[in-house]
């Protein structure tokens, strides 16, 4: 199994490092031939509007949409969550998401860069206690469709109760950056999702 990390813009290196720590073969993905060579994909944090623009320029938008809709396991963190959303609030008019998760996401919901913070998040399906989650100009999920499972909410503070982790079948998204903490549990969870999907396909 090979997991790609979209390398158009954002913190690609940190995700590649986390996957290497889990002994997973990981590759950066910038072109359609590289996308074709991977079994699953991580869309990193970064700047969602720049990511959208570069995806269009590199001819990646439609191939990504096709693979995601076709069942490729995909995980989006922060900007990646925005790119997997069906609807974006407070985005730019020319911003084109890849879609896949039936959710409405508010961009920069927690504020600007200076408002970045760490908060506690409990995630169902993942054992080991709460996450110390890093939020950097993060989105949150305003609403989800009937097929979306809410996995995590902010535990305390002004944003308590806000949805920050979701899953819809083969798609996973978090508003926070697990790749910046050294806590590999979210990546391990996604790797298991990808392996299960591969076994289902082979079966």
Residues annotated catalytic, as ranges: 78, 177, 179
CB-count burial class (<10 Å; 0-12, 13-18, 19+) for 63: middle
Helix, coil or strand: residue 35 = helix
Specify whether the CB–CB gap between 44 and 10 falls below 8 A.
yes
Specify whether the CB–CB gap between 14 and 179 falls below 8 A.
yes
76: left (phi over 0), alpha (psi -120 to 50) or beta: beta
In DSSP terms, 143 is beta-bridged to: 104
In whole angstroms, what is the distance from residue 15 CA to residue 189 CA?
14
In whole angstroms, what is the distance from residue 73 CA to residue 76 CA?
10
């Amino acid at each position: 199994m090979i997991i790609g990390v979209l390398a158009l813009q954002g913190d690609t290196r940190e995700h590649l490092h986390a996957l290497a720590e889990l002994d997973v073969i990981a590759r950066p993905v910038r072109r359609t031939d590289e996308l074709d060579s991977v079994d699953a994909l991580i869309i990193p944090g970064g700047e969602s509007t720049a990511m959208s623009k570069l995806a269009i320029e590199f001819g990646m938008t439609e191939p990504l949409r096709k693979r995601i809709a076709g069942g490729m396991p995909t995980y989006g963190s922060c900007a990646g969550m925005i790119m997997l959303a069906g609807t974006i609030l407070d985005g730019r008019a020319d911003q084109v998401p890849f879609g896949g998760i039936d959710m409405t996401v508010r961009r920069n919901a927690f504020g600007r860069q200076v408002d970045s913070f760490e908060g506690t998040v409990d995630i169902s399906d993942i054992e080991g206690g709460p996450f110390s989650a890093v939020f950097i100009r993060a989105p949150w999920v305003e609403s989800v469709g009937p097929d979306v499972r809410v996995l995590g909410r902010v535990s305390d503070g002004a944003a308590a109760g806000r949805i920050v982790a979701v899953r819809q079948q083969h798609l996973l998204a978090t508003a926070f950056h697990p790749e910046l903490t050294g806590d590999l549990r979210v990546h391990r969870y996604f790797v298991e999702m990808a392996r299960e999907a591969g076994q289902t396909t082979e079966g």
